[in-house]
Structure 1
Amino acid sequence: MNTSELNSFIVILIYGSLVLLSLLKLANPLKVNRKANFWFGIFLFLWSTFWMDEVLLLVTGSTVEFHSLLVVRFVQFLTPIVFYFSVLFYTNPSFVFKGTDLKFLLLPVAFLLCLLCAELGYSNPFEYLSVILILVQALFYTGLSYIIIRRHQKKIQQFSSNTEGINLNWLEYIIVVLFIVNIIYVIYNLFYDPTSLNFFINAVFLLVIYWVAYYSLKQKEIYPLEEKQRRELISIDEETEKEEVKKKLISDEELIKIKAQLESIMATRRPYLDSELNLIKLAEMLSVSTHYMSYVINTGFGKNFFQYVNGYRVEYAKTLLKNTESKFSILGIAYESGFNSKTSFNTTFKKMTGQTPSEFKNEVQVYKS
């Protein structure tokens, strides 16, 4: 099989994989992240159309100018914004479109006008302008999506003690990889023969698509299914970024009282050993609202929920690591301490102590010997 035939095979795999994954996301058999998966499914389908020219060539045996169709070009232009909507709903499932969101139509309308003008015979200036709009829209919404995901990763630390399954790292990595690949492709198009790069680009895209398939299908529900709890947590997220959070939600006396109760529960009942512990569960133990609990942890301890709970987990892990007679492995200690994976254990432990669990354990053994 020569390079051309191998590239054709990869193109078929890319198109088929994207269409299949799109249908799976739209059907959403697990019924999780419904709005986000709907928009992500649409994004995947739109993404698949970029290989339609090559697929039709392989099927019909003749060149088909699929991308030259005005409707197709316009629909493909919407790909970055549809991806942005999926990110928006992953990070805030309670988001509702408002009248002010009509601003999202500005670039698509401008692009459509450019296409219509080009069709009427004013090809050169409007073709150039349409290319500029494609680049602007792609960069803008890709960058905005990346910023939203980064904010989300900070926000979830306000209510979750284990963020590994809900931090949307896979989306962040996809954005970075696609951005780098597209830069390489543009540079190569400017200075070299673009056809010689097709095999490499398509191979990378195929790997990215399989990466997307794996992580998007295993993505669990990010926020609680119960609407009231979901809205409470999202509102706490938003408040932590505003100046108003500095205002007192409760008196100093009440703050000291709840802080003492919290410390007592953490010491006696050790809820941090529950790997699924979240702000809602902890607030229920003290019979206070999630807003009050968040305020007490943020103001009383100067930490977010993630830092507060994992501080206890790390200290508990230290006692297990210091016990040279313990039969627990590093992974066993991670689970015993409330972490849900060795990766999150290593990362959090090193961030809080400056050492990995293995390094800490070895140091203790050397000291004792």
Structure 2
Amino acid sequence: MLQNIGLSTGLFNENDLLFQFLGIANFAIAPIFYLSVCFYATPFSSWKHRDYLHFAFAFLMLLIIVASLFLDQEIPAETITTAQQDSAEHIFNLLFGLQLTVYCVLAYQKIAKHRQNILLLNSSIEYIELKWLQNLCIGVMVLAFFWLADILFKLSDTSSLVDDLTSLLYLTGVLYIAYQWLRQKEIFPYNLGEQEELKAIIAETTQQELEKKKLVPDDKLEELKTQVRELIETHKPYLADDLNLIKLAEQLNMSSHQLSYVINNGFNENFYQLINRYRVEEAKKLILDPKMDHLSLLGIAFEVGFSSKTVFNTTFKKMTGQTPSEYKRNKLAKTGSD
């Protein structure tokens, strides 16, 4: 964007050294975006030496530009044709578009894995599932497609509308990122010790999928499963919308590692599914309870621990095959006919 501003205002032209060095930043944008996604989606994320490798391509482009400065002194400028310059620019742009697409795909996969992982740890995921970042990845990939089409078919050379629409898309994207970033809650609001436990749980779950390793003997698993069920059904911790794995483990005087294994292997569910199943069962009781007639369906949703109407309706229908209103209407109709 700085390049475009510089060219349009006449501060520099495409042959200036500043313009060329600004171009290197293009090859750092995609890795920075991907590493930002990794930071969001990984508990206790930290910079590693291998992360520098993501900027190897940008460094290579820097070396090429520096080398070209010395070559320019040796090769007369008039020997380089316009066609050669255009070809070099197209290659540069195509490489950028390819790199951007690859990193968006990697970021999309990282977020998809993150959404699986937080189901192990949280009972409410509406504000921490990073759906907006996943949508952003798709949007950037679509934008990259049209951008590459513009390079190959020179669409902007024949119509100024393409440039205007592209600028509008850039502006919309920036505003979208800013708005969602301000709304984004902290995903892993835990101390360092708890975050280390979460990392271990995620790693162990992946390892279990590969090796089916038993962390708890079968007889002990049944005992712990009974303990978990009794506490949930007696004390109803699921009524708190901020319930997570660590909080439930504390109530059970059990390690979060152990509790995660019991839920995944004893109940054959993840933490999110288990807690929301109990919430739905509680909601079904309240919907039909005459004492709760003063509450709307949204009020019942909040009462049983759901944080939004959308999540309540989606989860309820997924588990019962009906929306809450359909369930209530059908049950009341059946009661009336009886």
1:184 maps to amino acid: F
- Residues 134 and 199 of structure 1, relative CA distance in 2, 3 Å threshold: same
Higher alpha-carbon Rg: 2
Asked if the contact 1:70/1:115 (under 8 Å) is kept, the reply is yes
Equivalent residue letter for 2:331 = V
| Superposed displacement of residue 211, structure 1 | 1.9
Distance 1:101 1:182 in 2: 24
Are residues 1:333 and 2:303 paired? no
- How far apart in 2 are the matches of 1:210 and 1:173? 14
Alpha-carbon contact 1:324-1:365 (below 8 Å) kept = no
**What residue in structure 1 maps to residue 75 of structure 2?**
none
Q: What is the match of residue 282 of structure 1? A: 248
The structure 1 residue matched to 2:4, chosen from 31, 53, 63, is: 53
Distance change >3 Å, CA 358–CA 65, structure 1 → 2:
farther
> What TM-score does the superposition give when structure 1 sets the normalisation length?
0.79
Question: Structure 1 residue 159 and structure 2 residue 124: aligned?
Answer: no
Q: Write the letter of the residue equivalent to 2:324.
A: P
Does the 8 Å CA contact 2:118/2:125 hold for their aligned counterparts? Answer: yes
**In structure 2, the residue corresponding to 1:94 is in which secondary structure?**
coil
Q: 1:133 to 1:198 in 2, by over 3 A?
A: closer
For the 8 Å contact 2:44–2:196, the answer to whether it is kept is yes
Question: Alignment partner for residue 174 of structure 1, among 136, 140, 143?
Answer: 136
Q: Which runs of 4+ in 1 moved over 6 A?
A: none
Q: Does 1:80 pair with 2:30?
A: yes
In structure 1, how many angstroms separate the alpha carbons of the residues matched to 2:160 and 2:189? Answer: 48
Kindly provide the CA deviation profile for residues 194-226 of structure 1, in whole angstroms up to 9, marking residues without a partner as x: 522222222233233222112101211111231
Alignment correspondent of 1:130: 92
Q: Report what 1:343 is aligned to.
A: 310
Report the counterpart of residue 179 of structure 2 in structure 1.
214
What does residue 15 of structure 1 align with? none
From 265, 268, 280, the counterpart of 1:314 = 280
Look up the match of 2:289: 323
The answer for the alignment partner of 1:139 in structure 2 is: 101
- Contact kept? 1:161, 1:277, Cα under 8 Å: yes
Say if 2:294 is the partner of 1:294.
Answer: no
Which residue of structure 2 aligns with residue 111 of structure 1?
61
Equivalent residue of 2:274, what SS? helix
CA displacement at 1:333 relative to structure 2: 1.1
8 A Cα contact 1:80 1:137, kept in partner = yes
Q: Could you list the runs of 5+ residues in structure 1 that have no partner in the other structure?
A: 1-49
For 1:99 and 1:204, how far apart are their aligned partners in 2?
Answer: 35
Which range moves more in the overlay, 82-91 or 205-214? 205-214
Identical counterparts, % of pairs: 35
Letter in structure 2 aligned against 1:339: F
In structure 2, relative to structure 1, the CA distance for the partners of 1:138 and 1:365 (3 Å cut) is same
Cα distance in 2 for residues equivalent to 1:253 and 1:182: 55
Cα gap change, 1:194 to 1:112, in 2 (>3 Å): farther
One of 292, 299, 305 as aligned partner of 2:271: 305
Contact 2:7 2:13 in 1 (8 A): no
TM-score (normalised: structure 2): 0.85
Question: Shift in Å at residue 63 of structure 1?
Answer: 6.1
**Long gaps (5+) in structure 2:** 73-79
